[in-house]
Amino acid sequence: MKDDKLIFIICGKLYNGIDAEFKENHKILVKNDKIEAIGADIVQPESAEVIDLSDATVTPGMIDAHMHMDYYDWRHIREEVYSTSEEAKTIAVIRTAKKSLSRGFTTVRHTGGINSNGFGVLDVKRAIEKGYLTGSRIVAAPRFLCAAGSHGDLSQGFSRNPELSQITQNMRLTLGSGKDFFVNAVREEIKYGADFIKIMATGGFFTPNDNPAQQQLNDEEMEAIMMTAHEWGKTVTAHVYSPNHMQKLVKYGIDGMEHCSLMDEETAQMIADHNVYVVPTFCPYEEAVHYDPVGIQDKQPEFRAKLEYYKDALQAGREVIKNCKCKLGYGTDFVANHQNYESGYEFKAWMESDMGTFRTLQAATKTNSEILQLDDKIGTLEVGKLADISAWKRDLMTDPYALLDCAFVMKEGVVYPTEKCEDLPEGV
Ligand SMILES: [Zn+2]
């Protein structure tokens, strides 16, 4: 029988995912892939390898709950949609998973392929689980469900050439209309291995011809999706912005919602009362919320116009989210301002909205593990949990770039190399 592998980690400070504090002088004993002991007075076994992180803050492996893994570079994401093969998109997923892990994000949730129409993300997920590839653990909805002309219909970019637009629209197999179409689409996603279902309930900011106030699946379609997914034991999350649509989704039994950027108080209360989670994805709207007329110029023209138009509502929505009692997850949704694997930028956004270090860290660890339905395995540093552990040398209380500068990462008891964010300013 193979000997147990023991690793003894000495922590400078420790955030365990549960208590809103940094504990001093703690140690963690890892046995094979799990946490065997944790505390100030645990004994160091003679045979254990020692990892000294006494100059760093140790946390659970971080989790990004809203990622699109299937592209290489946000600056030409629209070209990537139609100009590369499904195979190339799968390679992009492999690269994203590897880079996310090296940045201390040991688990990521893929909320539908922006570019891809296939299931490469599930193949990558399985290959990582089997140890054939190195990367973050993946929880995935491979293809989002959406309607023609909607936020999920990327062929709207060709709308002035209807023939071409129709051809590319038809390439997206989870795009359709009517209750029966979507009932079947849910069943197919589950058959092929989706962990959850993602729907585009309303319009969006990034797409050229629609807007966040539009309901883009009708009531019957939304209700049928929810009912089918739940009958088959899967959760549903929705891309949504406006309060009236959020309320409707809650009424139909939605499990979670993404963005919710135009939140009002009544809706926040309703969401909290129904225990529906929200992944508010602050990053894409930063230039509107903390109004930055220069920074906003870098955006795609249609995205920029909508940020300008909704600026006041986005600012008000942010305040409501800040003060709400909803269960908040941490997700980036990078398609328009950072590379998808630079998940630490969301920490900066939360800091700059005064969300507080511990509320932010809890969102990215414990709460996200609940959203991903993996809270029995990851999300906190406790005896019996998988040894997914990250460490950071910058000050998490004061430095907004702290989560972009990973000093150490371990997943299931194995240490991996780290990589810094590509455009990282000096520490403060
Ligand atoms: Zn998204």
Q: Is the pLDDT of residue 79 over 90?
A: no
Helix, strand or coil, per DSSP, at residue 19: coil
Domain boundaries 62-371, corresponding CATH code: 3.20.20.140
Does residue 2 register a pLDDT over 80? no
Closest CA to 59 of 7, 108, 110, 23: 23
| Predicted structure pTM score | 0.97
Q: How far is the CA of 194 from the centre of ligand 1 (A)?
A: 16
Tell which wins on pLDDT, 156 or 102. 102
Nearest to 60, CA basis, from 401, 280, 364, 344:
364
Residue 178's alpha-carbon distances to 70, 185, 229, 233, 390, in angstroms, are: 28, 11, 16, 22, 45
Ligand 1 centre to CA of 206 (Å) is: 10
pLDDT tens per residue, range 331-388? 999 988 899 999 999 999 999 999 999 999 999 999 999 999 999 999 999 999 999 9
Distance 127 CA to ligand 1 centre (A): 24
d(CA 416, CA 137): 13
Arithmetic mean of pLDDT, 22-41 = 97
- Mean pLDDT for the chain overall: 95
pLDDT greater than 80 at residue 288: yes
111 Cα to the center of ligand 1, angstroms = 6
CA of 66 to the centre of ligand 1 (A): 6
DSSP-assigned letters across all residues of 20-46: SSPEES-EEEEETTEEEEEESS----T
What is the pLDDT averaged over residues 199-208?
92
Closest by CA position to 411, among listed 32, 85, 13? 32
User: Of 32, 30, 23, 36, whose CA–CA distance to 8 is shortest?
Assistant: 30
Nearest to 79 by CA among 120, 115, 110: 115
Q: What is the pLDDT of residue 219?
A: 97
Q: For 238-366, where are the alpha helices, taking DSSP H only? A: 243-251, 265-273, 286-289, 301-309, 311-323, 345-352, 357-362
CA of 351 to the centre of ligand 1 (A): 21
Q: Quick one: CATH architecture of 6-60+380-416?
A: Roll (2.30)
Ligand 1 midpoint to CA 151 (Å)? 10
Average pLDDT over residues 260-277: 98
Amino acid 271: pLDDT: 98
Q: How far is the CA of 120 from the centre of ligand 1 (A)?
A: 18
Provide the token pair at 192.
Answer: 């092929």
Distance 392 CA to ligand 1 centre (A): 27
Residue type, 13: K
Q: In angstroms, rounded to a whole number, what is the distance separating the alpha carbons of residues 194 and 143?
A: 9
pLDDT grade for 1, boundaries at 50, 70 and 90: low
Residue 383 CA to residue 46 CA, distance in Å, equals 20
Ligand 1 centre to CA of 101 (Å) is: 20
CA of 332 to the centre of ligand 1 (A): 8
- Selection from 344, 330, 321, 336 nearest residue 396 by Cα: 344
- Segment 163-170 shows an average pLDDT of 93
Identify the CA nearest to 240 among candidates 271, 269, 194: 271
Cα 159 to ligand 1 centroid, rounded to whole Å: 22
How much distance in Å is there from the Cα of 139 to the middle of ligand 1?
A: 14
CATH fold match for the domains 6-60+380-416 and 62-371: no
What is the tens place of the pLDDT at every residue in 234-246? 999 999 999 999 9
For residues 159-176, average pLDDT: 93
Q: Please say whether the beta carbons of 336 and 301 come within 8 A.
A: no
Domain extents in the chain = 6-60+380-416, 62-371
| Ligand 1 midpoint to CA 282 (Å) | 12
d(CA 428, CA 73) in angstroms, rounded, equals: 28
CA 266 from centre of chain? 26
Query: pLDDT class for 427, splitting at 50, 70, 90?
Result: low
Per-residue pLDDT reduced to its tens digit, 395-409: 999 999 999 999 999
* pLDDT for the residue numbered 428: 52
Question: What mean pLDDT is predicted for residues 96-120?
Answer: 94
